[in-house]
Amino acid sequence: MRITRPRLPAICAYLALSCLFATAWFTNPATPHSSFALMSPVLAVAGQVAQPIYTSRFASSGLVDFVHSSAVTALPDGSLMTVWFAGSREGAADVQVRAARFDAGTGEWGAEQVLATRASTQQGTQRFIRKLGNPVVALAPDNRLWLFYVSVSMGGWAGSAVNVMVSDDFGRNWSTPRQLITSPFLNISTLVRSAPVFHADGSIGLPVYHEFLGKFAEYLYLSADGDVIDKFRISHGNNSLQPTVVPLDGQRGIALLRYAGNTHHRVLATRTEDAGQTWSEPYPLDPSNPNSSLAAVATPEHGLLVALNDLQDGRFKLSLYGTDAQMDDWYSVGDLDKSPDPLGGPFSPEAFKEIMGNEFRGSSGSLRQPLEAQFLSNLDTRVCTARGCEFEYEYPYFIRSPDGMYHLVYSWNNTFIKHVTFNDAWLAERLR
Amino acid sequence: MINLWQAHLSFAMLLFLLLPAFGLPRLARIAVLGALLAVSFLPVGGLSLAAHMRSYIDDLALTTLVFMAWGCLRRLNILTPAPKDKTWVMVIFAILALVLYPATLGLSELDPYRFGYSPRPMLIVFGLLTLGLFYLRNWLGVVMLAVATLAFLLNIKPSQNYWDYLVDPLLGLYCCFALLLHALRRIGTRLMTARNNTSRSA
């Protein structure tokens, strides 16, 4: 065999290719991973006894649409912003992402505002959009307000992608939506539902989940500018969705997961010891989970407060639980809302309307009180089916604002987004 | 904006490759390609046709654009056929697709897509593969991988993941099906030859 020496052009080509890959190697070091950023809520002044506070009111004000999947964030002036989706039904083409702002001065929610529609998303992303879904909102440590929301171009929710909008002026103006690239397979099968987590360097941890071939959770790691720079599996397989991630300190955190399997119907939990990079094998906890969304926040005593439907089936009762960081001991703080029927059975339209009238007056807040008659007038067509009228309290979203208040928003019979506020003094009183 | 240019190029080249040649001369085929590029800008329901196609097939990988460009140049008789180049390229991208997609979509505990965010090990592997293909004079493979890496270096896609420059489902599926068809054809030919030999000896 004769060995031929490579010619000069070939040597140059070898060198050029080597330089190309070497340059790419040098300019793409491993993504650094920052610890969780921990928020320190303002503590009560020593010697001053805080009064228990528990209030509720409706954040949404529309009386026609199906409303669902709310999220809330605290703004620096003490106000809040909540977002949700609303339309003729879940998955309809007319679904919009809407928002409302809570005025800390008046203690009431303002008018609804449309943040994203199918058309605006289509225009921004330059992709055909069939429908919109779950939104989440969060204020970053650099005071940029982030909105992430689901859209679908083809198929059902398994074909979802995540869109992002950002505001530099606390939600007055928003950037045009763009789509995050989260999956190599047609960029589908990624959904958001629970609160983003911020890291010490400003990077964003976005809990997401997949619903295409498997049902599993992931932790997307975004740069402070909202580009996906890494991702980590939280769970595997076909039975866990909608992770709610709670940092305990800079490195340790817990994710609670909606159980989507057919075996034990219990909330799943998994832990991280490296700020979200690796997660332990998910395991079932004491509370039940009827394949429904849940939400959790950390308490000053290093425990968790969890809002969930502690039921084997149905979503007719939304409860608040406390637990320690090990999640061994669970105690009930109370039920936030529940059907008068302990088994969640249906009611006749007449009986339902009467109960809902009372519930409305107890939940709406003073600004929404005048809407009662109009709300009750079309209730049967909005909520009732051939089976009857059933109660549904679901999809909680939990935050603790910098002033130490707890804020919980959830779907109230898919007719309103309800906002519940309480403080540590109220919690202490409940547990006495 | 670069995404949309990619979408328009993808639209024009994909349709050009799918359409029969109709025995047209080279200049006429170049005109067809140009017409398809113009058609890709036609608005339907507020979006261009290219944007509609992009909604379903996503932004294609740079390797696919090179592969389609190579196909178009062959269709225009500007490049001569190089069947061995193509077979090895298809083998490489079929393997990549089979490794990447099932695992990323949840059928494995390992997520290979993650490696694309910190791609130094991948760059070593694909660098060596490109040099190997160059040694074997597989120009198509070399150009596909080099252009994809150059585009990644220049960050021309909205993705920070090297995989998104290397492979997409369209290329992966095409390679898998084409190889399957190729294998079936070869098996069929061998069976026919064996049958002919048997009948001749009988």
Among A11, A12, A21, A225, the strongest candidate for a mutation testing the B interface, having the largest count of B CBs within 10 A, is A21
Beta-carbon separation of B164 and A184 below 8 A: yes
A12 touches B: beta carbon within 8 Å: no
| Domains in chain B: boundaries | 1-59, 74-201
DSSP type of residue A44: P
What pLDDT was estimated at residue A432? Answer: 74
Which of B57, B150, B153 lies nearest to residue A186, judging by beta carbons?
B57
- Identify residue A332 by its one-letter amino acid code: S
A343 touches B: beta carbon within 8 Å: no
Give the count of alpha carbons within 13 A of A58, CB side only. 29
- A347 — phi, psi (to 5°)? -115, 160
Q: Which of 171-200 (A) contact B at CB < 8 A?
A: 178-179, 181, 183-187, 189
What pLDDT was estimated at residue A44? Answer: 54
Beta-carbon separation of B56 and A123 below 8 A: no
How far is B147 from A304, CA to CA, in rounded Å?
A: 50
CB neighbours of A91 closer than 8 A, spacing ≥ 6?
Answer: A131, A133, A156, A157
Nearest to A364 by CA among A354, A373, A374, A372: A372
pLDDT by residue, tens only, chain B of 202 residues: 456 899 999 999 999 999 998 888 999 999 999 999 999 999 999 999 999 999 999 999 999 999 999 999 999 989 887 767 789 999 999 999 999 999 998 888 899 999 999 999 999 999 999 999 999 999 999 999 999 999 999 999 999 999 999 999 999 999 999 999 999 998 998 888 888 887 777 6
Residues of B whose CB is below 8 A from A178: 158
Beta-carbon separation of B126 and A28 below 8 A: no
DSSP labels for B125-150? HHHHHHHHHHHTT-HHHHHHHHHHHH
Nearest to A413 by CA among A366, A364, A368, A373: A364
Beta-carbon separation of A184 and B113 below 8 A: yes
Q: Does the interface predicted TM-score (ipTM) exceed 0.85?
A: yes
Residues of B whose CB is below 8 A from A210: 105-106
Nearest CA in chain A to B150: A20
Helix, strand and coil percent figures for chain A, each rounded to 5 = 15, 40, 45
Nearest to A365 by CA among A57, A49, A29, A22: A57
- Identify residue A35 by its one-letter amino acid code: S
Nearest CA in chain B to A23: B153
Q: How far is CA A285 from CA A258, A282, A328, in A?
A: 11, 10, 8
How far is B86 from B109, CA to CA, in rounded Å?
A: 32
Among A4, A28, A154, the strongest candidate for a mutation testing the B interface, having the largest count of B CBs within 10 A, is A28
Residues of A whose CB is below 8 A from B149: 20-21, 24
- Rounded to a whole number, what is the distance in Å from the CA of B32 to chain A's nearest CA? 26
How far is A305 from B29, CA to CA, in rounded Å?
A: 67
CB neighbours of B29 closer than 8 A, spacing ≥ 6?
Answer: B16, B21, B75, B76
A122 touches B: beta carbon within 8 Å: yes
Q: Which of 289-328 (A) contact B at CB < 8 A?
A: none
Q: How far is CA A286 from CA A30, A216, A268, A289, A310, in A?
A: 39, 21, 9, 10, 9
Among A4, A33, A126, A225, the strongest candidate for a mutation testing the B interface, having the largest count of B CBs within 10 A, is A126
Residues of A whose CB is below 8 A from B168: 184
Helix, strand and coil percent figures for chain B, each rounded to 5 = 75, 0, 20
Which of B51, B101, B113 lies nearest to residue A126, judging by beta carbons?
B51
- A305 — phi, psi (to 5°)? -110, 130
What pLDDT was estimated at residue A47? Answer: 54
Return the structure tokens found at A99: 């928002």
Beta-carbon separation of B55 and A181 below 8 A: no
Q: How many residues does chain A have?
A: 432
pLDDT by residue, tens only, chain A of 432 residues: 556 667 888 899 999 999 999 999 999 999 999 999 987 666 555 556 689 999 999 999 999 999 999 999 999 999 999 999 999 999 999 999 999 999 988 999 999 999 999 999 999 999 999 999 999 999 999 999 999 999 999 999 999 999 999 999 999 999 999 999 999 999 999 999 999 999 999 999 999 999 988 899 999 999 999 999 999 999 999 999 999 999 999 999 999 999 999 998 999 999 999 999 999 999 999 999 999 999 999 998 889 999 999 999 999 999 999 999 899 999 999 999 999 999 999 999 889 989 999 889 888 888 888 888 888 888 878 888 888 999 999 999 999 999 999 999 999 999 999 999 999 999 999 877
Which of B56, B109, B127 lies nearest to residue A236, judging by beta carbons?
B109
Q: Output the CA torsion sign for A218, A219, A221, A225.
A: positive
Work out the angle at residue A274's Cα, subtended by the Cα atoms of residues A272 and A279, and round it to the nearest 5 degrees: 30
How far is A357 from A366, CA to CA, in rounded Å?
A: 14
A259-283 burial, b at 16+ Cβ within 10 Å, e below that, comes to bbbeeebbbbbbbbeebbeebeebe
Among A128, A218, A223, the strongest candidate for a mutation testing the B interface, having the largest count of B CBs within 10 A, is A128
What pLDDT was estimated at residue B193? Answer: 87
* Residue that is written with structure tokens 């608040």 in the block: A320
Nearest CA in chain A to B100: A184
How far is A309 from B6, CA to CA, in rounded Å?
A: 47
- Provide the terminal-to-terminal Cα distance of chain B, rounded to the nearest Å: 68
A119 touches B: beta carbon within 8 Å: yes
Return the structure tokens found at B142: 């070399």
- Rounded to a whole number, what is the distance in Å from the CA of A6 to chain B's nearest CA? 10
What pLDDT was estimated at residue A380? Answer: 78
Beta-carbon separation of A28 and B57 below 8 A: no
Class of domain A55-289: mainly beta
Beta-carbon separation of A236 and B106 below 8 A: yes
Nearest CA in chain A to B60: A186
Q: Which of 208-237 (A) contact B at CB < 8 A?
A: 210, 212-216, 227-233, 236-237
What pLDDT was estimated at residue B1? Answer: 47
DSSP bridge partners of A116: A97
* Residue that is written with structure tokens 């976005």 in the block: A206
A280 touches B: beta carbon within 8 Å: no
Q: Which of 30-49 (A) contact B at CB < 8 A?
A: 30-31
- Rounded to a whole number, what is the distance in Å from the CA of A98 to chain B's nearest CA? 23
Burial class (CB in 10 A: 0-12, 13-18, 19+), A253: buried
Contact A271, A253 (CB under 8 A): yes
Beta-carbon separation of B119 and A24 below 8 A: yes
Nearest CA in chain B to A181: B159
Q: How far is CA A98 from CA A109, A206, A397, B122, in A?
A: 13, 20, 16, 42
DSSP bridge partners of A247: A253
Residue B17: enclosing H or E segment and its boundaries? helix B2-18
